[in-house]
């Protein structure tokens, strides 16, 4: 309760909208994807439904259309003012929030909705996991236990990536694997120049160390997925259990080693990781960037979005 009251005071410059009001801001229509498609893109501990797509994400897609049109109108007017031809740029969307809060599901769903709403447009999705330093580098710098914290990312590479994409250039980035818990050696992902680019990660609203440039400067629209800390911890532990279940028959999986240990020990370890790493990162570095978002999607205990905060 105290956490909610603190948030209400912190976001006086946001319009607070409940689910019922939000869902009425856009006329009802059939979601442009099937139940099977939704199940294929959602994280395995997420409970999103087609009703959520209709009530929350279709109005959100319509709002993004409004922001995109406003950006294009401004670019056109600035071109007239400067007596220059305006250069086409991608519409870039940043999505942030805690570990295990559901950012990936939101990002993949938006990618589908935007590609089907703007049928002639291309939509690229990239996560910032690929900009983590390899484990060997983290070990060398003695910060492996700080993986996910700001200093564990190659921020210079990430900023160069955002700059190149903003200017319509394609870019090759490293590939991160959750199965091996590391950057995949000698493997790259090519992100093509696109009409929409969605960038998802816990650090997308943070600023580089000792720099005055915020990554939010690159985004035309930004979303923070939020929930009470107790709920996020519960989802993190639930996800950890599911990762163990998936890894039990795969000795190459990072989580396989834990399947050989007593369950009580493993769960105690998971709670310790949450307390000493993920919770600390959330409180010190992720949550403080929350009010840099244009829109905050707040989730209740059952993963259902119950409140939306839109920047005034």
pLDDT tens, position by position, 106-120: 999 999 999 999 999
pLDDT at 209: 60
pLDDT at 153: 96
Q: What percent of the chain has pLDDT over 70?
A: 95
pLDDT at 58: 96
Residue 3 pLDDT greater than 90, yes or no: no
Is there a binding annotation on residue 103? yes
Superfamily of domain 1-311: P-loop containing nucleotide triphosphate hydrolases (3.40.50.300)
- pLDDT single digits (tens) 77-95: 999 999 998 788 999 999 9
CB 75 within 8 A of CB 166: no
pLDDT at 8: 61
Higher pLDDT, 85 or 298: 298
Which range in 30-39, 123-132, 159-168, 208-217 is most confidently predicted, on average pLDDT? 123-132
Is there a binding annotation on residue 270? no
Domain boundaries, the chain: 1-311
Residue 1 pLDDT greater than 60, yes or no: no
Residue 17 pLDDT greater than 90, yes or no: yes
pTM over 0.85: yes
- In the DSSP assignment, the letter for residue 153 is B
Is there a binding annotation on residue 75? no
Is there a binding annotation on residue 102? yes
Interval 278-305 mean pLDDT: 95
pLDDT at 4: 57
User: Average pLDDT over the chain, rounded to whole?
Assistant: 92
Is there a binding annotation on residue 104? yes
Is there a binding annotation on residue 97? yes
Q: Quickly state the pLDDT bin for 26 (edges 50, 70, 90).
A: confident
């Amino acid at each position: 309760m105290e956490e909610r009251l603190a948030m209400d005071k912190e976001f006086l410059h946001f319009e607070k909208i409940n689910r019922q009001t939000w869902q009425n801001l856009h006329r009802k229509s059939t979601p442009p994807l099937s139940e099977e498609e939704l199940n294929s893109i959602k994280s395995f501990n997420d409970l999103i439904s087609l009703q959520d797509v209709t009530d929350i994400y279709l109005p959100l897609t319509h709002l993004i259309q409004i922001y995109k049109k406003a950006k294009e109108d401004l670019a056109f007017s600035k071109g007239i003012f400067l007596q220059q031809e305006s250069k086409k740029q991608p519409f870039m969307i940043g999505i942030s929030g805690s570990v295990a809060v559901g950012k990936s599901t939101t990002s993949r769903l938006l990618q589908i909705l935007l590609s089907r709403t703007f049928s002639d447009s291309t939509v690229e999705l990239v996560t910032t996991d690929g900009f983590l330093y390899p484990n060997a580098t983290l070990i060398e710098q003695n910060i492996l236990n700080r993986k996910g914290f700001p200093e564990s990312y190659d921020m210079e590479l990430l900023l160069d990536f955002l700059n190149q994409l903003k200017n319509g250039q394609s870019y090759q980035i490293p590939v991160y694997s959750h199965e091996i818990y590391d950057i995949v050696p000698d493997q790259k992902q090519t992100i093509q120049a696109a009409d929409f680019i969605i960038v998802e990660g816990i650090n997308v609203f943070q600023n580089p160390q000792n720099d005055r440039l915020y990554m939010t400067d690159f985004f035309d629209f930004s979303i923070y997925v939020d929930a009470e800390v107790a709920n996020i911890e519960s989802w993190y532990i639930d996800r950890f259990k599911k990762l163990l279940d998936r890894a039990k028959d795969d000795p190459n999986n990072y989580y396989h080693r834990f399947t050989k240990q007593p369950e009580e020990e493993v769960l105690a370890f998971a709670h310790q990781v949450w307390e000493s790493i993920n919770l600390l990162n959330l409180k010190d570095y992720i949550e403080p960037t929350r009010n840099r978002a244009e829109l905050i999607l707040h989730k209740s205990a059952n993963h259902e979005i119950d409140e939306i905060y839109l920047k005034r």
